[in-house]
Structure 1
């Protein structure tokens, strides 16, 4: 599938597109300019860590790229690398 084909299909239902293409999806819905619950975030970070420990590649993204991807990546880095929240 080309990138352009993916974008065209994505406007319909991105999660379904990923699943059709054989991706295993771990979805953490976060409302724009908001944060997820601590439990949901902790569970999702744990799932992603499990995937990386199995040698799986991961992709982290949101639709608007205004903070949710960075929030999740920072929480993942904090847990994996032991970084502080500062």
Structure 2
């Protein structure tokens, strides 16, 4: 299942052909009986050629997707890796760099897939931070938006929710307009 985030740009600002961020479970995840080739083919059919992968190195083995990185390359996906530990967060500067990459693609009409293992905690946290920075939602609105689009369980724990709040506060403080 790929959950798309129906986005509108900041008030008064429009994009001619915006791309769309999407969140999903780890493609090819063996413990959920996912078929990697089928999952990647579906993503291609939906015009998702850019991926923000949040897995740590050990998770590729743990979830039976050791060949995923190579499959991404072979099938022409452009992938950015932002390894975040399960149930965890990352550094604000690393988040900012990943979101800048993602927004550049979205502004240019490209769809971007965000995934961790379950597509909820880490993926939801990244999506919520994206909404605070580029769509001027406050942290609670962004978290709720992601939960409505993906799952009530998205942004899985207090640490992740606090990260979204801290990230939003830092962005607003440094970018008051």
TM-score of the superposition, structure 1-length normalised? 0.82
Alpha-carbon RMSD across the aligned residues, in angstroms, is 1.9
Give the deviation of 1:75 after TM superposition.
Answer: 0.6
Which aligned segments of 4 or more residues in structure 1 are displaced greater than 6 angstroms?
none
Q: Does 1:63 align with 2:92?
A: no
Structure of greater Rg:
2
Q: 1:52 to 1:65 in 2, by over 3 A?
A: closer
Structure with a larger share of its residues in helix:
1
Aligned partner (choices 62, 66, 85) of residue 31 of structure 1: 85
TM alignment of 1:63-82, pairs within 5 A:
63-82=117-136
Q: 1:35 to 1:80 in 2, by over 3 A?
A: same
Structure 1 unmatched ranges of 5 or more: none
Question: What secondary structure, in the 3-state scheme, does the structure 2 residue paired with 1:59 have?
Answer: strand
Q: Distance in 2 between matches of 1:61 and 1:38?
A: 18
Q: Distance in 1 between matches of 2:98 and 2:131?
A: 13
TM-score of the superposition, structure 2-length normalised? 0.42
Question: What secondary structure, in the 3-state scheme, does the structure 1 residue paired with 2:67 have?
Answer: helix
Q: Which residue of 1 aligns with 2:96?
A: 42
Q: Distance in 1 between matches of 2:112 and 2:135?
A: 17
Structure 2 unmatched ranges of 5 or more: 1-33, 39-63, 141-177
Q: Distance in 2 between matches of 1:78 and 1:52?
A: 15
What is the aligned residue count? 82
Question: What secondary structure, in the 3-state scheme, does the structure 2 residue paired with 1:26 have?
Answer: strand
Question: What secondary structure, in the 3-state scheme, does the structure 2 residue paired with 1:33 have?
Answer: coil
Give the deviation of 1:12 after TM superposition.
Answer: 2.1
Give the deviation of 1:65 after TM superposition.
Answer: 3.0
Structure with a larger share of its residues in strand:
2
